[in-house]
A and B are shown apart, each in its own frame.
Chain A
């Protein structure tokens, strides 16, 4: 639907616009001079957790992530708030506190925002970051032979929606919360010392949806599903069909692009599961991949080498 809506926008030609709508990238990149390009992103959504402070943290971590996914460093951020006037103001202040703390943790400055009276709560940020024009990380510039690294476990969507419906454990939910509010800054800081070929983050289109955006016409990506980290209860929930509508939408959208070889239905659900503030996906040369994953594993969250970039196959993605 969105692709169709965007298609009718006037096409603006500006040589300084380095990344725009065309490639489903995470943020827009505009070059200011030889050394600096700005990255602009915007993301907001309704709460997926009941604690307003935690929701604020998650929304901010999610918004900031797009800057890292483009290879940049966040500098300034603006709040976007939809909030009912009838609701307790303390609730809003907790959301904003959670968001502000994450922006600070990222080393950026929160410098304003805009709010609208609306019956459903939504919160997020527009973040501006900077990047050297030579260091911009696009999502579909992988090289054959690269390894694909995922920096957070999957199953966030399945676990948090099941928890909200009363069928997932507190323990799993807390794991999902930890994943969602962890800044991708830490994984990015480690990875930026290596020469990455491509990068994106995993959000609403799920692991396979965002991986699909990394595929180019000259190569495919092969995933080893046994290596993919996920919150363990998510698989049990998926076996019980306790999955999300978003995951099913992702499946329908991607099914022609993905070939599964002996992957259980439940594991497929995890690979299609929409993530909120999910991890980064790096495409990095095989040579660097072992060193990088070793360093990443010192961070708080499970991460793994989950696939590799291979010669072009019939399908974009092969999952074994």
Chain B
């Protein structure tokens, strides 16, 4: 729903952390933009964001001005009053028609561009959050390195099983499984490109990750 700004210039740690956490703890906050004046402060906020499953990015405007963006990617809510917030993390396709069925396309085992480790934390948070939604996705199509997520060894496997129980169709691209020398996925079905295309073009809203 809301993006909040925090000017922490001239404020020593841990004050920026305290203020940022306060804002992030508010349910209505989706995104916090923090201005800080030193790199260690940026790094401290990054540790917190990573451990909490938030999106984190920053820009060094000058040696004493850093702009940090922390957003709650892992905590999607699908209730209609949250519509506005959804637009802030590129789920714009959903916000006009939440009650319409939707599908999710996942093309990587990491979410977003940036540090791999962070990307893995985020994708796990994302899939977990899907299990918490009132309306689960109609299907999730995994392709390219996304197929690592449906493998038995993946730490998202339990959440995917939960989704399957709730009626979500889980599809893993067969070509991608072969290419990555992966066994048959432990959850859902193997799909060929034709089936994936059929799903993605079936008229439901598609969320691309």
A interface vs B, CB < 8 Å?
161-162, 165-167, 237, 240-249, 252, 265
Whether A242 contacts B17 by the Cβ 8 Å rule is: yes
Chain B contacts for A249, CB-based, 8 A: 40
Q: A242-B18, A243-B44, A248-B40 are in contact. List 19 more A-B contacts (CB 8 A).
A: A162-B14, A165-B15, A166-B18, A167-B18, A240-B17, A241-B14, A241-B17, A241-B21, A241-B48, A241-B51, A243-B13, A243-B17, A244-B12, A244-B14, A245-B40, A246-B40, A252-B43, A265-B47, A265-B51
With CB as the reference atom, state the residue of chain B lying closest to A245.
B40
Closest 7 CB pairs of A and B: A248-B40, A245-B40, A242-B14, A241-B48, A245-B13, A165-B15, A244-B13
Whether A161 contacts B40 by the Cβ 8 Å rule is: no
Chain A contacts for B17, CB-based, 8 A: 240-243
Chain B: residues with Cβ within 8 Å of the partner, total of 15
Q: Is B41's beta carbon under 8 Å from chain A?
A: yes
Question: Which of B14, B41, B47 contacts A167, CB < 8 Å?
Answer: B14
B interface vs A, CB < 8 Å?
12-15, 17-18, 21, 38, 40-41, 43-44, 47-48, 51
With CB as the reference atom, state the residue of chain B lying closest to A164.
B12
Chain B contacts for A167, CB-based, 8 A: 14, 18
Whether A245 contacts B47 by the Cβ 8 Å rule is: no
Min Cβ gap B131→A in Å is 27
Whether B47 contacts A161 by the Cβ 8 Å rule is: no
Q: In the complex, A244 Cα to B48 Cα: how many Å?
A: 13
Q: Would A161 and B43 be within 8 Å (CB), given that A241-B48, A245-B38 are in contact?
A: no
Question: Which of B12, B15, B40, B47 contacts A241, CB < 8 Å?
Answer: B47
Q: In the complex, A245 Cα to B51 Cα: how many Å?
A: 18
With CB as the reference atom, state the residue of chain B lying closest to A241.
B48
With CB as the reference atom, state the residue of chain B lying closest to A244.
B13
Q: In the complex, A111 Cα to B12 Cα: how many Å?
A: 35
Q: In the complex, A165 Cα to B18 Cα: how many Å?
A: 8
Min Cβ gap A17→B in Å is 35
Whether B44 contacts A161 by the Cβ 8 Å rule is: no
Chain B contacts for A162, CB-based, 8 A: 14
Chain B contacts for A240, CB-based, 8 A: 17, 21
Question: Which of A165, A237, A248 contacts B44, CB < 8 Å?
Answer: A248
